[in-house]
Amino acid sequence: MSSFIQDTRYDVDLFVIGGGSGGVRAARIAGGHGARVRIAEEYRFGGTCVIRGCVPKKLFVYAARFAGEFTDAAGFGWTVQGASFDWPTLIANKDREIARLEAAYRANLDRAGVEMVAQRAVVEGPHTVRLADGTVVTAGTILIATGAHPNLGLDIPGRALAITSNEALQLERLPRRIVIQGGGYIALEFASVFAALGTQVTVVHRGDKLLRGFDEEIRDHLAKEMSQHGVAFAFGTTIEGIYETGEAGKRVRLSDGRDLFADEVMLAIGRVPNVTGLGLDAAGVELNTNGAVAVDARSRTSVPSIYAVGDVTDRVALTPVAIREGHAFADAVFGGKPWAVNYEVIPTAVFTEPEVGVVGLSEAQARAQGRRLDIYKTDFRPLKATLSGSPSRIFMKLVVDQASDTVLGVHLIGEGSAEIMQLAALALNLGATKADFDRTMALHPSSAEELVTMRSKHASSDPLPEASAQATPAF
């Protein structure tokens, strides 16, 4: 039985702006605590993750992996004849699944007693929201959960000709050639998908390595593996212009003077918090230097009655994080059960080919904290590759605190890394030591067994000098 007392001075106790993962979780939990909740979403319930992010992207990843499976099958005695791929079928089936998920989101909100509003809402004051149709709603608490959108970068010539991850999920046909700008997980995941499906892919990246913030050896290993899977890289350069060339598609001018030709050009250079036009400035809600909503540890903004969760706060832009932030907010404000989100041990996967899984600190980040480290790592050919003939190799690395023997970071690249990493995160949350890993019985034959059979220390690392002890953010 909830102890929350509804405040009849307001139309609702909670008004949520944004129907993505964080906003929906907050609305449902608050409703369960007895609050009167209304949530506004101007597009589709489910947000970036469900509608145009991780869920449809993972479906694309599954589709792309069949190409490799068909190739590998020959080494195991299979003959696969007549296999072909149809892009429109994938798009149609993906759209059907997304529609089902959106309906499930709506049903869950309805069961929690949350009133849904299918239109844009903006903040007009500490306790006031205005809908697109002019309706004014008062609320005891307002939650901003509007997420983020793709960053289009500089206003280069022809920028309007480019697509983002949003449009990549809705293309009418599979491009023969695509140029993707970016070196983060979104750019690389789409590069892997398109390459596996037969597209000629070039990744243009201003840096000299991929996946900024990840462990250096993971970054190097992934670049090598993706190159073997047919992805071309143009490091140390950017796109300076995109030009229509008729039947030849688009001409892409690079900063090093080269021209590339492609059917599609995709910009995947980060995401920007959705704060424009929300009325936050008029309400007195402060933004941080990144243009995101500034919040404290409880997700409260500079206005005591207004909170924010998820990507709009630019803390850790991951769906499970937004969900936990929304849940913690609702429990604290409406359930009388305050608790804090733990940002220290967050498992992360990059669904490239091969996929990456990490949790905890990289070697550089641990050294930047002033720790002396023991490093354990292995690089091997998986059993499956012995018959398939694949050149891919699995890489694993453990970062261990020398003084306490605590495992600070686990870094994998290879098949099944994401699934392995979920349980590795459990071990790190429990404070597992290297001795705990060593005592764990191996599951043979598996790739994961290598995590508990690495006995030989590869290296020891001293702390970084104080002048350079700045860890790069992991995300």
Task: Write the pLDDT tens digit of every residue in 179-222.
Answer: 999 999 999 999 999 999 999 999 999 999 999 999 999 999 99
Q: Which residues are catalytic?
A: 444
Mean pLDDT of the chain: 94
pLDDT score for 167: 97
| Single pTM value for the model | 0.93
pLDDT score for 304: 97
Mean pLDDT to the nearest integer, 402-431: 97
pLDDT score for 128: 97
- Check pLDDT > 50 for residue 474: no
| Calpha distance 393→280 (Å, rounded) | 49
Residues pairing with 243 in the sheet: 251
H or E stretch covering 148: strand 148-150
- Check pLDDT > 70 for residue 441: yes
Mean pLDDT to the nearest integer, 408-428: 97
| Calpha distance 330→337 (Å, rounded) | 9
Task: Give the residue from 364, 380, 410 showing the smallest Cα distance to 216.
Answer: 364
User: Lowest mean pLDDT: which of 1-5, 195-199, 418-422, 450-454?
Assistant: 1-5
Query: CB atoms < 10 A from the CB of 289, how many?
Result: 7
Please name the amino acid found at residue 266.
Answer: M
Gyration radius from the chain CA atoms? 24
pLDDT score for 248: 74
pLDDT score for 195: 98
pLDDT score for 442: 96
pLDDT digits (tens, 9 = 90+) for 238-252: 999 999 998 778 999
- Check pLDDT > 70 for residue 468: no
Task: Give the residue from 351, 356, 177, 147 showing the smallest Cα distance to 266.
Answer: 177
Task: Please state the φ and ψ torsions of residue 429, each to the nearest 5 degrees.
Answer: -65, -30
| Calpha distance 41→233 (Å, rounded) | 39
pLDDT score for 259: 96
SS3 content of the chain, % helix, strand, coil (to 5): 35, 25, 40
pLDDT score for 466: 62
- Check pLDDT > 60 for residue 470: no
Query: CB atoms < 10 A from the CB of 173, how many?
Result: 10
Contact predicate 195/230, CB 8 Å? yes
User: Lowest mean pLDDT: which of 227-231, 279-283, 454-458?
Assistant: 454-458
